């Protein structure tokens, strides 16, 4: 892991609608705002951050497969696929990367079918309900993890 | 909603096989027949109807997202994704459009896994078991809805 | 099936309260309005429509039994009995008539105990969530069915 | 229990359709045939048999309540109410009469919702799947029971 | 609500057997005793009390529909229909009246199928397990409610 | 089916304890009594009855396999294997014989694990709760069946 | 039970917040108000009433154990422990005292996890949904019970 | 089916990672190895084998639709879509081709969510837990099937 | 594992009826045919194959226990015991032998109670739905496994 | 119960493999060791101990039936039959003997299907997880029981 | 573990009522009797036994935390907390001590909610249904365990 | 909210064992380390942080009740009470404070009984699986929230 650790920030279906879709649930920040904020926070944390969004399960699976060789960590808000995509789960497990799962809303307080997360079964941890700030905290968590690993601290 | 209200008729996976696949369940009408009939019925109802079909969950999600600005209503037969795609559900909810769900067969009389509908949770109503006629009735329901709204009738 | 096909429109418990009961859910149209509209739409479709309502499960069962010989089709909104009456289901199955089920609201979006329909298991199709218009669409579906049958179209 | 023991044979909803409804499941014998056969078999067994049928849950409940004082035993085929009527169950339990439950078809091999019997929870025994003969066997069982009781045999 | 507030005390199936049916569970008081006691307690509380009992679900539904205009409150012991009648529930909700549910026995300690109450979902409160006294306490609760409402106390 | 139709009466595990085991549930009649009674009733019905009992699932399976060629009908009280032995069920189905299931007690009123019957899924009908008389009634049912078949009555 | 029967009114966790916590659900009356009202009503009923509240499951258990010797009856609103504390249930059963359970709101209409009551399994009866009046009615029920017992009436 | 029967070998999401992903579960063979082996085994069995892999549910659906006209049989390892894709199931059923399902690991011994297979409901048979050899055995099974069909053996 | 690896082919209850029992499900091949085919295929694969069948769970358990020392691998079609016998499962696990499970029909498409396999939890893999050919494929899988082990290939 | 009370120690399927089967779970002691230890401990406790093992459910049932007359108590480790054999349960209940259930491992911490015990429903108590020592403690428990009974202590 | 191994005997809620509470279930022995017996048996086994009881979940958790450093083994009858306290379970697991669980009654034969044990998931073994003797047997089991450990026997 | 916003950091049962208990799951940091880190991070964020831990459900409930008036926000790791304490949930809801839930491990990947969180139902968001860093991120989330609120940003 030479130079800056690389982190892929992945957003799933309908997150491109952020700021337009049900703002009373998801707020007014757009995905572009989130991406910009991730880049800037990443920079301040010494991370090389890349952001991507797709509505296609297969495309997300492909990006995670590539990340295996090209990235050092993953922040993922898989949207609805969180709850239905075993394929994403398998890709995350196969990636051997530390994954931090993010959700804008607190999925534990919504419909029953949003309580189970396939992503969580392949992730180090989850941050939910804290809005766009969740992405920043996830980047901090990865940065901290890279720092400990570099320092040989378990 | 100037001029003719615009309605997108969306068909999901395997509906392009209509007329070929299990005709004893789904009949002999092809999807092209359905599309033609929707166009003609739409015209007689004063609706501008567009028809699309995809086997890709992500593509369907994308079309629904675009419909948010470009259409006034949605008729959707999501096929198998009816029962498995939370992403479609989220897209439909985010579209803020009136949605009428159509199924060719009566899904309440088939396998257990066809009884739950994610689409229904985001739809005004459902028409099922009436074959291709269901699309026409759905267009009527939307037309009626546009007429009442225009007339200020709740 | 000489002359006009005969259709019985059956309404179950509490539908006599239509227009009074929870109008935010069921609207302001009364059952008399619905019956009048069914008669007029039926006429324009060449159907001889009879409308009946009862709060008694046993009376509804009896009417369906009589319909077996006296009617050519059934439109039924069984209200609460939709979800609890196996006796209605058995009567409908025994009637050997084509049945179209109607619900004013979208039963798939309400309480859990309204999701299962015994009527659906004995019906050709279901129309729900489209308000009183649902009855008209159901009559159209039956008319279409009689027309195809008469024309020898499967 | 002077003279002939009195037995009420009660039939529930849709059993008046016997011989007409789904003969491949229920056979061609009519309810009148069954009643006649019960009367004649009852006579040969020394029982005073009365037969009644109703589609009304409440009417069946009322007859069972009256039977408490006017009858010595009950044979009941409650049809669909077998599976849904707790009120029948309570009436049977309150009657303090020996009850033998009859079903024409083997309810254990049909739809899931026909497997549970509220009647069974208040009955001495059940005979099912043996067609109209089931009523005769039920009368034999009650006759045998009255004989033992009269003989002081437990 | 001029003069005395009017309260309908409704009893469901088999409660006409009170005092005869399973006295070890339900006690020796008859329904006539209960009605008399309700009338007298009602009088002392300034309530105009009417008492009715039926074994017919449809008849109970009808009485509740009428109560909507003719009564100011409802006390109901729906017996077995408590647990099976969604139609009663709908009628109670449609009545827009304050409803207090009564059960003679503690339904939470009996068979599993007596634990769920459709009536409770439409009632202000429930009193159970306190025998016939429950009706009197229910009348008190309604009287108190009318008094607060009259006094403008929330 | 020349001469007398042959019927095998099969008893499963612990039925050899009949008369000794929990007499308050199963009565005082012994299995020898039952066998004797079956033989005598069989004779009067023109049936050639053979009785067997085993505690071994495999032995019961074997006897049912042999019955396929050597018997014309089966009466079976499979005891505890009723509820746990899919192997018995498969053997009964493979036998192509009419099977009448008997239980001494009413299995619908006992522990939950006695409510499901694998035997019922392969049987024409069931008689339960009528004590040893059940075997006699089962023999009558088979005799009647053979008579109808011989008479060409469906 | 010399002199006035003694009754312990027990309140569980968060009921000390009464009047402050979610007043739209629980109203504006404070626990002190409730206690005062119980004392005064108790006096008028000839009962010696003691009131206690604790947030500690173990303390409530201890008080119930002491009540066994020091009290003649119990009124308990166990708050959240109603639904989670088997220890309370065991203590109540061990107390051998008549227990009347009270809830301010109708627990049957709230979250699923509030529908099961461990307290109910050890209580004579329940009063719920009637607000603070419920405590008074519960005291009446106990007073009535003591009166009947004193009078030797079952 | 002139000349060599044609078989499509289809691999689903993440199977392109074979040999890289969790080798302790899936072994070291790559997908290219599997494809090569299928081609060579196919040749020796007289089958024209085509191999394809996709991470996209919609693409897999499309290929199966095409196979309907262009292939004589299907071998499919749908990976995670096995357990979540009803769309694949519908496509397979619509294809009217014999399908043999393959899994590298024994799905019956893994996580609960891998135990249900939508593919199995549309397949002739399944081979699992035998690693890459499973594909070869599946090809043998299809070859055998084509041979029997050609020979007119059922 | 000197000389030819030894393989025990075990068949469970009712498989001795193969060819007689429900041929539309299980085909016309007899168990003797299967055994002969296994012997001949085994020979060609260099395996010493022994075939046994029993209807007795305990006997099958005993044979598996002996196999532990006398065999190198197991092919087992446990018939109905697949789904009910934990004892077989324990014996298989205790045997420390590689086990390949075979079913003639595709158990995933039959009754619910045939979907769970205790054998699968102790087996390397499963082959189902391919008829008698399944045994041959299972022998190939074991032969391949012995070959790899002999070659030191993992 | 003259002289030494007699105790039968019964072991079920696969316990003859003790010491060989999965020693990391079940330890290295053989069944012969256990039997010897039971005999010697029994002697020191004044009990006449007999030990038996079978893999056959029917044989175990038979031994329990005989024990009814020939023994004074039972210690049973039914192995896998603990969880699947209702026949054993019925035999134990019919034996009218005090039964102490033993398991070598703590069945509450193993697979879900080992958590339910049919034996427990017919046993005085259970000792599990304490290895072979469990048999000795079970014998002590029976000895203590016989002593109390002899001393007339409840 | 110099000198005598130290064992803490912990009793949970309501066990201080032993001998008073439901003696037909729990017997007449008091907790003081149990403690005295444990001390004396402990002495004879060379164990230093301390006994404690609390109705407070938090206090029990604290004692278990202290035991980690001050004791060598634990005997625990957690009463109702057995079934509801995950906190106790976590404390037991964190203690790294061998734990033997005791219950006076056979929890497998009581109410459903007493069948699951959180304690069992952190315990070596369980003894239940043997009354106060269970504590003595548990102490023997721990003593035996210490002896083996001291002797270096696994 | 004058001066520094006040935040209470609450830790539940067994968290005082942090660093000692199962370090492979929870790491080597002690609770004192966490408290110190929270204080220092809080200071840098302009928050007045107070830290408390208790093993007593009732004490935690009491502290949350006090926090209602004395604090501006809550960070809570309720340990095992997360999953079992409805009383904590009620207290949190009654507090009207923003609550951020923290867990050291990813509760979604552990035992089933740790997946449901009563705390989550009353919390703004959750951070889990990120070890002690989770507390710091939670403080940041609250600080951010206070900042937005102060700035009038929704």
pLDDT band at K100 (very low <50, low <70, confident <90, very high): very high
Beta bridge partners of H52: H10
| Whole-number pLDDT of residue E60 | 98
* Residue E122 at interface with chain C, using a CB cutoff of 8 Å: no
Chains with ≥3 CB–CB distances under 8 Å to C = B, D, E
- What pTM did the predictor assign? 0.95
Chains with ≥3 CB–CB distances under 8 Å to E = C, D, G
| Whole-number pLDDT of residue D2 | 54
B34 vs E69: CA distance, rounded Å: 50
8 Å CB contact between D137 and D130: yes
pLDDT band at F153 (very low <50, low <70, confident <90, very high): low
Size of interface F-J (CB pairs under 8 A): 56
8 Å CB contact between G77 and G104: yes
E100 vs E120: CA distance, rounded Å: 9
8 Å CB contact between L137 and A132: no
Contact assignment for G14 to L85 by CB distance below 8 Å = no
Q: Looking at the predicted structure, is the pLDDT value of residue L5 above 70?
A: yes
8 Å CB contact between I128 and I26: no
Contact assignment for C58 to E58 by CB distance below 8 Å = yes
Residue for token pair 């249904």: K129
Contact partners, residue D14, CB within 8 Å, separation at least 6: C61, C65, C87, C90, C91, C94, D21, D55, D79, D80
Tokens representing residue L49 in the block? 């942080």
Helix axes B57-70, H57-70, angle to 10 degrees: 120
F37 vs F31: CA distance, rounded Å: 10
Minimal CA–CA distance to F57: which of F102, F12, F92?
Answer: F12
Residue in D with minimal Cα distance to F23: D154
Beta bridge partners of A11: A53, A77
pLDDT band at C2 (very low <50, low <70, confident <90, very high): low
8 Å CB contact between F58 and F18: no
Minimal CA–CA distance to B51: which of B31, B68, B69?
Answer: B31
Contact assignment for J126 to K126 by CB distance below 8 Å = yes
Q: B49 burial class (0-12, 13-18, 19+ CB within 10 angstroms)?
A: buried
* Residue F149 at interface with chain D, using a CB cutoff of 8 Å: no
Beta bridge partners of I74: I8, I99
| Whole-number pLDDT of residue C153 | 57
Q: How far is D1 from chain C (nearest CA, A)?
A: 34
Q: Looking at the predicted structure, is the pLDDT value of residue A89 above 80?
A: yes
* Residue H105 at interface with chain A, using a CB cutoff of 8 Å: no
Of F58, F68, F84, the CB nearest to I13: F58
| Whole-number pLDDT of residue D28 | 86
Contact assignment for A108 to L129 by CB distance below 8 Å = no
DSSP state of A29: -
F125 vs D109: CA distance, rounded Å: 9
E34 vs E22: CA distance, rounded Å: 17
Q: Determine the topology of domain F1-76+90-103+132-147 in CATH.
A: Rossmann fold (3.40.50)
Of I54, I83, I114, the CB nearest to F58: I54
Q: Which of A81, A89, A103, A135 is catalytic?
A: A103
Contacts of A61 in chain H (CB under 8 A): 13-14, 55
Residue in F with minimal Cα distance to I16: F65
A27 vs B138: CA distance, rounded Å: 33
Contact partners, residue L147, CB within 8 Å, separation at least 6: none
Size of interface C-D (CB pairs under 8 A): 56
- Catalytic status, residue A83: no
B107 vs B97: CA distance, rounded Å: 24
B39 vs C114: CA distance, rounded Å: 35
pLDDT band at E153 (very low <50, low <70, confident <90, very high): low
Contact assignment for B57 to A59 by CB distance below 8 Å = no
For chain K, what's the residue count?
154
K98 vs K73: CA distance, rounded Å: 5
Tokens representing residue D58 in the block? 């409440």
| Whole-number pLDDT of residue F63 | 98
Contact assignment for L90 to G80 by CB distance below 8 Å = yes
Minimal CA–CA distance to C75: which of C52, C57, C54?
Answer: C52
pLDDT by residue (tens digit) across B22-48? 777 667 899 999 999 999 999 999 999
B143 vs H85: CA distance, rounded Å: 34
Minimal CA–CA distance to L10: which of L102, L97, L75, L69?
Answer: L75
Residue L151 CA, distance from chain mean position: 25
Report chain L's C-alpha Rg in angstroms: 15
* Average pLDDT rounded to a whole number, residues J122-138: 98
| Whole-number pLDDT of residue J31 | 97
% of chain D beyond a pLDDT of 90:
88
Interface of F with J in 4-33 (CB under 8 A): 12-14, 16-17, 20-22
Sign of CA dihedral I97, I103, I104, I106: negative
| Whole-number pLDDT of residue H137 | 98
Chains with ≥3 CB–CB distances under 8 Å to J = F, I, K
Q: Would you write out chain G's pLDDT as a tens digit for each of its 154 residues?
A: 558 999 999 999 999 999 887 777 667 899 999 999 999 999 999 999 999 999 999 999 999 999 999 999 999 999 999 999 999 999 999 999 999 999 999 999 999 999 999 999 999 999 999 999 999 999 999 999 999 988 875 5
Contacts of L134 in chain A (CB under 8 A): 125
Of A65, A87, A91, the CB nearest to H81: A87
| Whole-number pLDDT of residue I2 | 54
Q: L22 burial class (0-12, 13-18, 19+ CB within 10 angstroms)?
A: middle
* Residue C83 at interface with chain E, using a CB cutoff of 8 Å: yes
HSE-up of residue C149 (Cα within 13 Å, Cβ side)? 12
A63 vs A76: CA distance, rounded Å: 11
Tokens representing residue L52 in the block? 């408390």
B92 vs B76: CA distance, rounded Å: 10
Minimal CA–CA distance to E38: which of E143, E145, E136?
Answer: E136
Distances from the Cα of H35 to the Cαs of B117, H29, H38, H39, H79, in angstroms? 38, 10, 5, 6, 16
C31 vs C13: CA distance, rounded Å: 12
Residue in H with minimal Cα distance to I126: H128
Please give the angle made by the CA atoms of H7, H13 and H18, to the nearest 5 degrees: 85
Minimal CA–CA distance to B29: which of B77, B64, B74?
Answer: B77
pLDDT by residue (tens digit) across H69-89? 999 999 999 999 999 999 999
For B19-24, the CB contacts below 8 A with 24+ separation are B20/H68, B20/H94, B21/H90, B21/H93, B21/H94, B22/H93, B22/H94
Contacts of K14 in chain G (CB under 8 A): 61, 65, 87, 90-91, 94
Measured from the Cβ of residue C96, the count of other Cβ atoms closer than 10 Å reads: 11
Residue in G with minimal Cα distance to E124: G129
I94 vs L70: CA distance, rounded Å: 63
8 Å CB contact between K139 and K45: yes
The enclosing H or E element of B83 equals helix B81-84
Contacts of B85 in chain A (CB under 8 A): 80, 84
| Whole-number pLDDT of residue E27 | 78
Report chain B's C-alpha Rg in angstroms: 15
Provide the 3-class DSSP secondary structure of residue G88.
Answer: helix
Q: How far is F117 from chain D (nearest CA, A)?
A: 8
| Whole-number pLDDT of residue D150 | 87
Q: Tell me whether chains G and E touch (3+ CB pairs under 8 A).
A: yes
Measured from the Cβ of residue H37, the count of other Cβ atoms closer than 10 Å reads: 18
For chain G, what's the residue count?
154
Contact assignment for B100 to C130 by CB distance below 8 Å = yes
Q: How far is J39 from chain F (nearest CA, A)?
A: 29
Q: Block means of pLDDT (10 residues each) for chain I, length 154 residues?
A: 87 94 78 97 98 98 97 98 98 97 97 95 98 97 95 65
| Whole-number pLDDT of residue K153 | 57
Tokens representing residue D14 in the block? 């849709």
Beta bridge partners of B50: B8
Contact assignment for E133 to G127 by CB distance below 8 Å = no
- Catalytic status, residue A103: yes
H127 vs I127: CA distance, rounded Å: 4
* Average pLDDT rounded to a whole number, residues K92-110: 97
Residue for token pair 């014989």: F97
Provide the 3-class DSSP secondary structure of residue B44.
Answer: helix
HSE-up of residue G86 (Cα within 13 Å, Cβ side)? 17
Q: In what order do the strands lie in the sheet with D6-11?
A: D48-53, D6-11, D73-77, D99-103, D125-128, F125-128, F99-103, F73-77, F6-11, F48-53
Contact assignment for B127 to C124 by CB distance below 8 Å = no
* Residue K86 at interface with chain J, using a CB cutoff of 8 Å: no
* Average pLDDT rounded to a whole number, residues A70-79: 98
Contact partners, residue A21, CB within 8 Å, separation at least 6: A14, B90, B93, B94
| Whole-number pLDDT of residue E3 | 82
HSE-up of residue I60 (Cα within 13 Å, Cβ side)? 31
Measured from the Cβ of residue E2, the count of other Cβ atoms closer than 10 Å reads: 4
Residue in G with minimal Cα distance to L85: G84
Complex confidence, ipTM: 0.94
Residue in E with minimal Cα distance to G117: E108
| Whole-number pLDDT of residue F24 | 75
Interface probe with I: pick from F87, F88, F118, most Cβ of I within 10 Å = F87
Residue in D with minimal Cα distance to F142: D130
Chains with ≥3 CB–CB distances under 8 Å to H = A, B, I
Contacts of J73 in chain K (CB under 8 A): none
Interface probe with H: pick from B21, B82, B85, most Cβ of H within 10 Å = B21
Q: What are phi and psi of F54, to 5 degrees?
A: -150, 150
Contact assignment for E120 to G108 by CB distance below 8 Å = yes
Q: How far is B122 from chain H (nearest CA, A)?
A: 20
Contact assignment for L108 to A126 by CB distance below 8 Å = yes
Q: Looking at the predicted structure, is the pLDDT value of residue C136 above 70?
A: yes
Please give the angle made by the CA atoms of K50, K54 and K57, to the nearest 5 degrees: 120
Q: How far is G129 from chain L (nearest CA, A)?
A: 18
Q: Looking at the predicted structure, is the pLDDT value of residue C18 above 90?
A: yes
Q: Looking at the predicted structure, is the pLDDT value of residue B14 above 80?
A: yes
Contact assignment for I84 to F89 by CB distance below 8 Å = no
E44 vs E38: CA distance, rounded Å: 10
* Residue G149 at interface with chain E, using a CB cutoff of 8 Å: no
Beta bridge partners of J59: none
User: What DSSP letter does each residue of G63-75 carry, written as one string?
Assistant: HHHHHHHH-SEEE
pLDDT by residue (tens digit) across B58-84? 999 999 999 999 999 999 999 999 999
Contact assignment for H120 to I126 by CB distance below 8 Å = no
F14 vs F27: CA distance, rounded Å: 14
* Residue E58 at interface with chain D, using a CB cutoff of 8 Å: yes
* Average pLDDT rounded to a whole number, residues K89-108: 97
């Amino acid at each position: 892991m030479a130079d800056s650790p690389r982190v892929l920030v992945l957003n799933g279906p309908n997150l491109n609608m952020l700021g337009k879709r049900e703002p009373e649930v998801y707020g007014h920040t757009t995905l572009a705002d989130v991406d910009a904020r991730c880049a800037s926070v990443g920079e301040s944390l010494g991370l090389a951050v890349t952001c991507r969004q797709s509505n296609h399960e297969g495309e997300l699976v492909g990006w995670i497969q590539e990340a295996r060789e090209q990235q050092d960590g993953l922040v993922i808000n898989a949207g609805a696929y969180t709850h239905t995509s075993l394929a994403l789960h398998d890709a995350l497990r196969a990636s051997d990367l530390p994954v931090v799962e993010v959700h804008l809303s607190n999925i534990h307080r919504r419909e029953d079918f949003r309580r189970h997360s396939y992503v969580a079964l392949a992730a180090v941890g989850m941050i939910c309900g804290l809005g766009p700030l969740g992405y920043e905290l996830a980047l901090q968590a990865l940065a901290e993890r890279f720092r400990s690993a570099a320092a040989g601290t378990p």
